Amino acid sequence: MIIGVGIDVVDIARFGDSLERTPRLLDRLFTDEEKSLGISSLAARFAAKEALAKALGAPVGLSWTDATVLRSEWGRPEFVLRGSVQRRADELGVTSIHVSLSHDAGIASAVVIAEG
């Protein structure tokens, strides 16, 4: 059963400008595993975290760093949840999260489906 769906798009150049203006933003949004990625991949991961929040009902109190987007052994993106995000997923009965990322022509996008 689908519990929630989220989608988000990010202008990569604008996102990069935000990170340059506010360097602490990198620490607020990304885990150590994500920080070394290029700007296009960071923008796509930010879009994925936004899409995940939407799929979970966008409750107040989710921490950006409680969700990490990693590559599976097959190269697909996947979420690793902990803390506030894991608690919300558990509250909703989420047992599986699907995520798709894309970045092209200056735009990064992500779609998330939460299943239970």
Strands 96-104 and 2-11: unpaired
Tokens (6 digits) for 88: 């919300």
Residue 21's domain spans which residues?
A: 2-115
Residue 87: pLDDT band with limits 50, 70, 90: very high
100 forms beta bridges with 111
Residue 59 pLDDT: 82
Phi, psi of 20 (to 5 degrees): -70, -40
Residue 60: pLDDT band with limits 50, 70, 90: confident
Q: Is the pLDDT of residue 58 over 90?
A: no
- Domain with residue 48: its CATH number is 3.90.470.20
**How many structural domains comprise the chain?**
1
Residue range 20-49, pLDDT digits in tens: 999 999 999 999 999 999 999 999 999 999
Q: How many CB atoms are closer than 10 A to CB 104?
A: 9
